[in-house]
Amino acid sequence: MNNLREILVQNPIIAAVRDDAELREAIESDVAVVFVLYGNILNISEICRGLKEKGKIVFVHVDLIEGLRGDSSGIKYIKEMGRPDGIISTKSSNIKYGNHLGMITIQRIFAVDSLSLKTGIKNINENSPNAVEVMPGVAYNIIEGLQNEISSYIIAGGLIKSKKDVINALSAGAIAISTTAANLWKL
């Protein structure tokens, strides 16, 4: 896989899929990067394979895969069976092990208050994910401030529903946005 920064700069809209209908729509869309936010240990390989066959760059949110334990064996299973380009997780241990396996890692943080943001920054700096997904993505002022605190790329995700939200997040310093709003995948 090419340089993550280059890929996200060239493809700043990321399709986030939560079910088979959204998966089919993402497969047929022009988006290059897809976040898989659903599945189970029985179908994750098929989900990833379908996306990869269409040339998509795939990240699996390992915390959301049914039947998968969030531990080193679970991360190894996803890498070997699903063969995604990388993983997403809120759990520092998953990010650390994904890094150990040479995977591209995206740590998702929820910036709901100053304590959660402070904890998120600490975890990011300790675990060095390749990118950070800030939730909610419409928290533009948090994205601006976070740039000075971490060295990972910032992806804005959650509650992004309009072109204005996309522009604001990217203008605030996010390198890309993730959204389940299929109408934005065409931007």
Rounded CA-CA distance 163/101 in Å is 36
Number of Cα atoms under 13 Å in the Cβ half of residue 13:
19
- Name the pLDDT band for 69 (thresholds 50, 70, 90): confident
**What is the per-residue burial (b if ≥16 Cβ within 10 Å, else e) of 74-104?**
bbebbbeebebbbbbbbbbebbbbbbeeebb
Task: Tell whether the model's pLDDT for residue 81 goes beyond 90.
Answer: yes
> What average pLDDT does the structure give for the chain?
96
β partners of residue 110: 135
Which tens digits make up the pLDDT trace of 108-138? 999 999 999 999 999 999 999 999 999 999 9
Q: Which residues contact 181 (CB under 8 A, 6 or more apart)?
A: 160, 161
Question: How does residue 1 score in pLDDT terms, banded at 50, 70 and 90?
Answer: low
Specify the CATH number of the domain 4-184.
Answer: 3.20.20.70
> Taking the model in full, what pTM does it have?
0.96
Domain ranges of the chain: 4-184
Q: Return the pLDDT at 164.
A: 97
Q: What average pLDDT does the segment 18-31 reach?
A: 98
- Say if residue 70's pLDDT is above 90: no
- Dist CA 137 CA 143 (whole Å): 8
Tens digit of pLDDT for each residue in 89-106?
999 999 999 999 999 999
Q: Label residue 2 by pLDDT band (50, 70, 90).
A: low
pLDDT for residue 139 is more than 70 = yes
